Amino acid sequence: MTTMIEINLLPKKYKKRSGGLSIGKHGMYAVVAAAGIILMLGAVSLYQRHQISELKGQMEIARARAIQLQKDIQLVDALTEIKTKITARMDAVERLDRHRSAWVHILGDVSRNVPDFVWLSKFSEIAEPPIQASVNDSAAAQVSIQSIPTVKRTKLEGFTFTLNALASFMIKMMRSDYFDEVDLEKTEEVIFGKQKAYNFQMSCNVHFLSDEELEKLAVNASGTADASIN
């Protein structure tokens, strides 16, 4: 039996390695660089996720604030509407209180003047433009604030079944001590079911006569009547 002996006479650096993977010095640098890049990308990803989480939290806070502000805006609008209504009612009460006794006589006179087949739907004052006063004219401004007009332009609206009834109503208003310059502004034919009627608008001056002025008018009227009799 023949035995063979193999002798490797190559230099040590050319000999085959028995096992393992040799990547060399440059390979190690590449592995370290790749690991650094992976770690950097992971850190960037974590930072971006943290920023996204913070943005989501800020968005939720902003939505909650927007809802709260919307509720506050609705509350302010409701309070403003209530204030407007209260101011309008107080203004109406103040206007009525200025000529409290006169309004009783005025409305009673209007009620007596309305004939059959005529009914009123609205009786309102015509708003007048405010008086402009200079800054230095404080006395005139104070007088204008304290003064209460005794004559106001008003508007009446209503309906009538006949034009003769409307003419009778206007004549009675002209003869009244409280009204003058009665003008018919508009008449329009309307239908109530099967009944024809007329919608009218008229304007006039209202004199807010006090009880003393009414007594003077009554005295003058009686004196005129006595003179005519004599």
In degrees and rounded to multiples of 5, residue 189 shows phi and psi of -75, 130
Which H or E run contains 190? strand 179-192
- Report whether 202 contacts 229 (CB < 8 A): no
Q: What is the CATH number of domain 100-127+149-218?
A: 3.30.1360.100
Judge whether residue 226 has pLDDT over 70. Answer: no
Which H or E run contains 195? strand 195-207
Highest mean pLDDT among 130-139, 146-155, 215-224: 146-155
Range name among 68-77, 122-131, 154-163 with the lowest pLDDT average: 122-131
Counting Cα atoms < 13 Å in the Cβ hemisphere of 219 gives 6
Judge whether residue 112 has pLDDT over 50. Answer: yes
Angle (deg, nearest 10), helices 100-113 and 24-98: 70
Highest mean pLDDT among 80-94, 142-156, 190-204, 214-228: 190-204
Judge whether residue 86 has pLDDT over 60. Answer: yes
Of the chain, the percentage scoring pLDDT greater than 70 comes to 68
Overall average pLDDT of the 181-195 stretch: 89
More reliable by pLDDT, 14 or 62: 62
Counting Cα atoms < 13 Å in the Cβ hemisphere of 23 gives 7
Residues whose CB is less than 8 angstroms from the CB of residue 182 and which lie 6 or more positions away in sequence, other chains included? 170, 173, 174, 202, 203, 204
Which H or E run contains 217? helix 211-229
Distance of CA 182 to the CA centre of its chain: 36
pLDDT per position as a tens digit, 140-182: 434 333 445 578 889 999 999 999 999 999 999 999 988 999 9
What's the order of all strands across the beta sheet hosting 151-160? 118-125, 151-160, 195-207, 179-192
